[in-house]
Structure 1
Amino acid sequence: MRALLTLCGYLLAIYCLLCLVLYLLQRQLIYFPVPAQLPPAEPLILPRPNASLLISQRPLDSQQALFYFGGNAEDVSVSLPEFAAAFPRHAIYLMHYRGYGGSSGKPSEAALVGDALALFDQLYSKHQAITVIGRSLGSGVAVQLAARRPVAQLVLITPFDSLSAVARQQMPYVPISWLLKDRFESHYFAADIRCPALLLVADQDEIINSRRSEALYRAFNADTARLMRYPGSHNSYLPASQLAEWIQALH
């Protein structure tokens, strides 16, 4: 009996140590900063508290603009030429998160959302029809931006309703609700979105279960959002030209 209690004590200590490590390193597990492969020729620099953000851009004197928020390990700079070709009438702005591709600072949910709001506020006087696209982690940023600002239309690629729900599915025996700092509870903000929204869900997404995307879809107001499925996995390539066609169909 004593040996069993000792073993249980060791196992509990190991479990608590694992939880502590996950708590301390969680942002390193959520955010994977990458350098910019194509440093922009004419970058937009957005000064922010404790950070200076690099925005890859294709400036254009147009009422229409496109904001793109990428995934957790994505270099958005490589998408600029394709977005510029697919959206010839839009000014293009691709945000390098804090710590990513020339941006300083440390990423967190509050910081990324605040940066997105600041970018919108700076550019809205120039572009009053702003389309926002968010992919994976970026969908959590895009949803909160669209809930708080007059976005023209919203496109979410492989989105989730809640980062904590995704984490609970991947680590069911860890007390995620106690440990997680950045939750990206997109389902709380969806009902406040008034613009047309398109949710694009990969048929074979191995990272975000389709139930998470469907739960987010149900959180939108009726007739606000559409859900479309496309063949592929979480990281399958989606041409910007295809996105342009789907966005046009939202009108």
Structure 2
Amino acid sequence: MPLPNVSRMSRILMIIADIVIALYLVLCMALWIFQRALIYYPQPRSVASALLTLPRSDAQVLVSVREHEGPKALIYFGGNAEDVSRNLPSFSAAFADHALYFLHYRGFGGSSGSPTEEAIQRDALGLFDEVYARHPQVTLVGRSLGSGVAVRLASQRPASHLVLITPYNSLEELAARQFPIFPVRWLLQDRFESWRYAREISVPTLLMAAEQDEVIPRSSTQRLFEHFAPGVAVLRVIPGVGHNSISASADYLRLLREAL
């Protein structure tokens, strides 16, 4: 039997390699274009409450509010697919002596515009300044994606306490774990580098992790914890719960109250 033509086989292999490379580049381009659709999942607002509208020039950003007179306030930043207004009933009962402010990211809960890391951070700064003018003791609480918002804000403004629920070291780290064959370091636009800001925090900080977190590895939370200065932060792990079920634990609000 005659052997295959070597040059013909080489051409076929080169064509296959070119197709694979082209497909890979197309996938990289798609990941770069649609990455924010993979990060943010806007949710409607489901719980009626008083609303604060932040004075933004490029969007209408809404905040669900439970008003309360006095020095203490709590600002809450939610996850990437969270309707933060759902927390109002439980937080209102748990923190009766706090005014409560729950930020609806752009595109979430009736807020206009599109969410990006920098836009959310500007809105967070604006909200803090509004709240701090009325309440001199402001606690920042960030859950999942919102932990990155809260820790960066705490490095820029005089918060009284910081609570990070299911926090991560950086979004880039999580993306690299989820898309290991892609160069996410070069593609990612919103990085949420919590570790970068943790070293600047000096207020009492609680990191709350879920024992069975299927989204954010414990190792990521541990690396973030190690970036805080000694004595600033404590790490607590709630047993038997996952990333989304952590708030159903009786320990959840108990640890929050103790942190404050």
Q: TM-score, normalised by structure 1?
A: 0.96
- Partner amino acid, structure 1, of 2:146: G
Aligned to 1:250: 259
- Partner amino acid, structure 2, of 1:233: G
User: Aligned runs of 1:122-201 on 2, under 5 Å?
Assistant: 122-201=130-209
Structure 1 residues 48, 67: closer, same or farther in 2, change over 3 A? same
Contact in 2 for aligned 1:87/1:244 (Cα 8 Å)? no
Shift of 1:61: 0.6
Secondary structure of 2:127's counterpart equals helix
User: Aligned runs of 1:33-182 on 2, under 5 Å?
Assistant: 33-40=42-49, 42-182=50-190
Cα distance in 1, alignment partners of residues 23 and 257 from structure 2: 53
Contact in 2 for aligned 1:154/1:198 (Cα 8 Å)? yes
Secondary structure of 2:24's counterpart equals helix
Aligned to 1:18: 27
- 1:235 maps onto 2:241 in alignment: no
The gaps in structure 1 that reach 5 residues or longer are: none
Shift of 1:152: 0.7
Contact in 1 for aligned 2:210/2:246 (Cα 8 Å)? no
Secondary structure of 1:65's counterpart equals strand
Number of residue equivalences: 250
Contact in 2 for aligned 1:191/1:219 (Cα 8 Å)? yes
Secondary structure of 2:231's counterpart equals coil
Secondary structure of 1:48's counterpart equals coil
- Partner amino acid, structure 2, of 1:217: F
Cα distance in 2, alignment partners of residues 103 and 145 from structure 1: 20
Structure 1 residues 39, 126: closer, same or farther in 2, change over 3 A? same
Contact in 1 for aligned 2:39/2:80 (Cα 8 Å)? yes
Secondary structure of 1:25's counterpart equals helix
Aligned to 1:30: 39
Contact in 1 for aligned 2:163/2:259 (Cα 8 Å)? no
Secondary structure of 2:38's counterpart equals helix
Shift of 1:243: 4.1
Shift of 1:47: 2.0
Write the deviation string for residues 129-176 of structure 1: whole angstroms up to 9, x where unpaired: 111110000001000111111111111111001100111111111000
- Which moved further from structure 2: 45-54 or 150-159? 45-54
Contact in 2 for aligned 1:83/1:240 (Cα 8 Å)? no
User: Aligned runs of 1:203-222 on 2, under 5 Å?
Assistant: 203-222=211-230
Shift of 1:39: 3.3
Cα distance in 1, alignment partners of residues 26 and 194 from structure 2: 30
- Partner amino acid, structure 1, of 2:258: A
Contact in 2 for aligned 1:86/1:241 (Cα 8 Å)? no
Shift of 1:54: 1.0
Aligned to 2:14: 5
- Partner amino acid, structure 1, of 2:209: V
The CA RMSD over aligned residues, in Å, is 1.4
Cα distance in 2, alignment partners of residues 196 and 246 from structure 1: 13
Cα distance in 1, alignment partners of residues 249 and 146 from structure 2: 16
Cα distance in 1, alignment partners of residues 16 and 114 from structure 2: 40
Shift of 1:85: 0.7
Cα distance in 2, alignment partners of residues 146 and 87 from structure 1: 20
Contact in 1 for aligned 2:121/2:153 (Cα 8 Å)? yes
